[in-house]
Amino acid sequence: MEVVVKPWENRRVFVTGATGLLGAWLCEELLARGAEVVCLVRDWVPGSHFARTDLMARTTIVRGDLDDHPLLVRALNEHEIDSIFHLGAQTIVGVASRHPLSTFEANVRGTWNLLEAARMCGPRIQRVIVASSDKAYGEQPVLPYTEETPLQGRFPYDVSKSCADLISLSYFHTYKLPVAITRCGNLFGGGDLNFNRLVPGTIKSALKGESPIIRSNGLYVREYFYVRDAVDAYLALAERVPEFAGQAFNFGSGETLTVLDMVRRILEAMGKTAIVPTVLNQAVHEIPEQALDCTKADRVLGWTPRHRVDAGLRETVAWYETLLAAGHSPRPRAATLDA
């Protein structure tokens, strides 16, 4: 009789950034696989996927912030956590450029606070997955990025990710904390309520019959990565720690598109091809072109994405159509879109 391995059943998992785009889908999948999930929640976001489902009732909520080190130590100890997914961060590039200090506080100090709390818990912590980003590589003369590409962010958001990434590796090499790092492309999917970002902003504008406003020149190249594939990637890596502790893995779709191409794909998925975006060409402090080499993830973890960008967009559009039809009114934000 074949024995079914259930690596997450009854595991006590701590998730930061649980109300964000990736966090909510990750929590949902962890629960489906039998984990007991504890979430650090700073702000309550009513329209988030986390709030609109039953995730709050099915998880344990710790109210607080990554800058509260004693709170993190208490949460990890009292809830007897053995696995950590650190997704909590300030993720908006424009906000980082306007307010670098708050971004460094959240993304850099928040990371070392959590890692130090995990270190203090000793061998009970069996795995820590830290969300870095393809932005940590910065602008490079050779693409795609491999995991050996130097981390050389230049602008505030990119630097915050380079720093968090290096600090995480330091905790492995110095203290043998079982940390592994994900470096993903631009995530998209249902649940992103930052409507100044490209995908949700374009969908919202198109549903209102308005022209999406592109902040950049529309020619920046990015690798767009569907959130459900990102969940699979995080779990595939986490299940192989501590075997691959101290290592970073690139995860992406393998599809690079300009901003204008991505907007066209979204409008095609919505049947709104007559709408023409407005290009402002005002973006600053952004990397012109990014692409990830995910060969290592395929070779070492056996991971490849299950969704093409167009398939992910169809599911994403359906999520936002349901959200906005229900009368959800997103918090006011800048009308322009991040690249």
At 329 the pLDDT is: 55
> Tokens for 217?
């020149």
Strand partners, 38: 14, 60
Give the number of other Cβ atoms within 10 Å of residue 243's Cβ: 11
Contact 338, 196 (CB under 8 A): yes
Phi-psi region at 176: left, alpha or beta (left = phi > 0; alpha = psi -120 to 50): left
Residues near 43 by beta carbon (within 8 Å), at least 6 away in sequence? 19
Position 335 scores a pLDDT of: 32
Q: What is the pLDDT of residue 52?
A: 86
6: its two tokens: 């259930």
Contacts of 338 (CB under 8 A, 6+ apart): 92, 93, 94, 196, 197, 198, 215
Contact 158, 196 (CB under 8 A): no
Cα distance between residue 196 and residue 334, in whole Å: 6
Domains of the chain in start order, with CATH, are 12-187+224-251 (3.40.50.720)
CA distance 272 to 266: 8
Q: What is the pLDDT of residue 330?
A: 54
**Cis before residue 100, ω within 30 degrees of 0?**
no
Is 157 one of the catalytic residues? yes
pLDDT for residue 334:
34
Instruction: Using CB atoms within 10 Å of the CB of residue 26, give its burial: 0 to 12 exposed, 13 to 18 middle, 19+ buried.
Output: buried
Active-site entry in 137, 145, 157, 234: 157
Judge whether 233 and 31 are in contact, CB under 8 Å. no
Mean pLDDT for back-to-back runs of 10 residues, the chain (339 residues): 78 96 97 98 86 92 97 98 97 91 97 98 97 98 98 97 98 98 97 92 96 95 98 98 98 98 98 96 92 98 98 97 75 38
Q: Report the pLDDT value the prediction gives residue 43, as an integer from 0 to 100.
A: 87
